[in-house]
Amino acid sequence: MKHIALILMMTATPALATPEYVLPTLFDVSGVAADDVLNVRAAPSAQAEILATLRPDATGIEVVQEQDGWGRVNAGETSGWVAMRYMSYRTDVWDGAALPDGFRCFGTEPFWDARVSDGALVIGTPDATDRSLPVSDLLATGWFRDPTRVVLAQGASLTASPAICSDGMSDRLFGLRADLAISGQERLLSGCCTIQPAN
């Protein structure tokens, strides 16, 4: 009888909920009147200073952090908070091992940037022409909508992992930390990645 009760208890327990999304990811502004704007505030509070605004039809807004119903976004050269009740989650961002269209990474000391284009990892530095290295593989964890990615290319690898990250040059914050290894270089290059579509 104890065994039957135990089985009933186990089958009656709901499964652990899968999170709807993992940050960073993209949202569209939703529920804002056509003649209004969504305020980007200095802190997660309706009383905080307004730093910028988003159009009522703005799409592809990268949210990198959430706190008490507010989401951190970048607007221009600053980082601020929007009310998440006016943001609609997009389900087309982290699909399999693919990269979102706006995916790009960058770092300082030394300055570098990287993106994947036409099957190649394109790495740029201020003192050299861009290097285009064929991509051999693109890896993901396989966990539900986990944004962690590794780009394996001929002579280089780029890892992007969820973490709040500063570019060191502005007040913006990003949701992915980047580590770039290039064959022949003495050190690992570090920086941030964004998935915000370019304007």
Return the pLDDT at 95.
87
pLDDT of residue 18: 53
pLDDT of residue 10: 38
Which residue ranges in the chain fall short of pLDDT 50? 1-17
* pLDDT at residue number 29: 98
Whole-structure pTM value = 0.87
What's the pLDDT at 15?
44
144: CB partners within 8 A, 6+ apart: 18, 19, 22
State the residue for tokens 């709807």. 20
Q: Any residues with CB less than 8 A from the CB of 124 and at least 6 apart, and which?
A: 112, 113, 114, 130, 131
CATH C-level class of 25-89 = mainly beta
The domains of the chain are located at 25-89, 104-194
**Segment 132-152, tens digit of pLDDT:** 999 999 999 999 899 999 999
Reported as half-sphere exposure (CB side, CA atoms, 13 A), residue 182 has a value of 16
Predicted local confidence at residue 19, as pLDDT:
67
For the chain, strand residue ranges (E) read 25-29, 38-41, 50-54, 61-63, 65-67, 70-75, 78-83, 87-89, 104-107, 112-117, 120-125, 128-140, 149-153, 156-166, 173-182, 189-194
Predicted local distance difference test score (pLDDT) of residue 97: 86
